[in-house]
Amino acid sequence: MRRRNPACIKERIDMANHVGGLHDRLNRISHWDVNVTDLGRSRSWYEATTTLRVVAQTRASQGFPSFGIESGSFKGYLLKDTELPRGVPMIHLVQWENPTPVGTPYRSQANVGWYRICPIVEDIEATRAVVIAQGSKPFAPTTLAKVCFHPGTREIDYRVFTVHDPDGVAVEFVDKLVMGPGGFTQVPATVAHNTANVEKYFPFYHELLGLDFLQGAQTQGKVPNVYAPGGGESGFTGAFFGVRGNGLVFFDWLQWLESPDLPSPYAEPNHVGIVRCAIEVDDLDAAHEILKRSTWAQQYPILIGGIEEWDFGPQWGVRRVLNFKDPEGVAFQLVEQPGSRLGVLHPYGRGAQFG
């Protein structure tokens, strides 16, 4: 853990009074937490069907005050696309041990909350065969459609299919051809989540969280619903957001036709499914002050506790975190960037270079 300089903290907090949101505090998306019931089974499934691989094992046993858990524990794996450079977001598979997992993932693509993980793959039909071999049944045939979600963008050669992972989390596989010339494989490209009111809550994401508004996204009428096992047709409007100019991995935030009727995200931190997005920030104290002093915090219970230290075990270490929710109850976490253990001048001593 890096030492906190009180004068520096005060200066950062004072600066927070003069900015409108978290934009200048954000570094990157760190990971999404996905609660599972059998950690080994889920790891095997994702490693068999995607380019995700374990880069660290996590294990925590402590109190989680913001969750109302006096003494809890979980184990997990941080998985990263090893074909992409360092710093891309990870998927954190988590199996709670105390309390044990509860519930099942959303069954509708429109439910408010985190719904689907989207990998971009080399060959959609080869991936489909691998997924089926793992025992997962796609909801529909692979799409072969021309679609356009914004009049200012090109028509997309849309080739996707969606399945459930072993716990019922939706995973939408996307052929790299969808990305156009130069498209490449990537896991995840996004982890999509939903709102019941795009216009009402857009300022929370753009102004308070400080996310870059990359583009609007909308269907022209209803389209085949290939994202949930119920099928049928649906439509959506929404936005794609990025973090600090990085559009490689983005937030796919949508209001489906059915979303106003499905307004309740997971309430329990140990609920099975995609439960939160963790975003790395450079200074957690300053970020906390921005959230606390926002008008959103006066109107909605977005803060669910103060800054905590979570010990993820020897492979990922101790991290300072702050848990919060958007106004609809969709969960997020801010994680402070760790100080470098090599961050010291003259590591062999001042003047050592002279012999």
Which of 42-56, 60-74, 89-103, 169-183 has the weakest average pLDDT? 169-183
Q: What is the mean pLDDT of residues 58-63?
A: 98
pLDDT of residue 13: 41
pLDDT at residue 52, as a whole number: 97
Residue 1: pLDDT above 50? no
20 has a pLDDT exceeding 90: no
Q: What is the per-residue pLDDT for 239?
A: 97
The pLDDT value recorded for residue 17 is 41
Q: Is the per-residue pLDDT at 10 higher than 60?
A: no
Predicted pLDDT of residue 229? 95
Q: Stretch 69-73: mean pLDDT, rounded?
A: 97
pLDDT in tens, 299-319: 999 999 999 999 999 999 999
pLDDT at 87 over 90: no
Express each pLDDT in 266-290 by its tens digit: 999 999 999 999 999 999 999 999 9
Please tell me whether the overall predicted TM-score, pTM, comes out greater than 0.85 for this model. yes
> What average pLDDT score do residues 288-300 get?
97
The 3-state secondary structure of the chain reads CCCCCHHHHHHHHHHHCCCCCCHHHEEEEEEEEEECCCHHHHHHHHHHHCCEEEEEEEEEEEEEHHHCEEEEEEEEEEEEECCCCCCCCEEEEEEEEECCCECCCCCCCCCCEEEEEEEEECCHHHHHHHHHHCCCCCCCCCCCEEECCCCCCCCEEECEEEEECCCCCEEEEEEHHHHCCCCCCEEEEEEEEECCCHHHHHHHHHHHCCCEEEEEEECCCCEECCCCCCCCEECEEEEEEEECCEEEEEEEEEEECCHHHCCCCCCCCCECEEEEEEEEECCHHHHHHHHHCCHHHHHCCCECCCCEEEECCCCCCEEEEEEEECCCCCEEEEEECCCCCCCCCCCCCCCHHHC
Confidence of residue 178 (pLDDT cuts 50, 70, 90): confident
Q: What is the mean pLDDT of the chain?
A: 93
pLDDT over 70 percentage in the chain: 94
Band (156; pLDDT cuts 50, 70, 90): confident
Q: What is the rounded average pLDDT of the residues 70-95?
A: 94
pLDDT digits (tens, 9 = 90+) for 91-136: 999 999 999 999 999 999 999 999 999 999 999 999 999 999 999 9
Q: Determine the pLDDT at residue 273.
A: 98
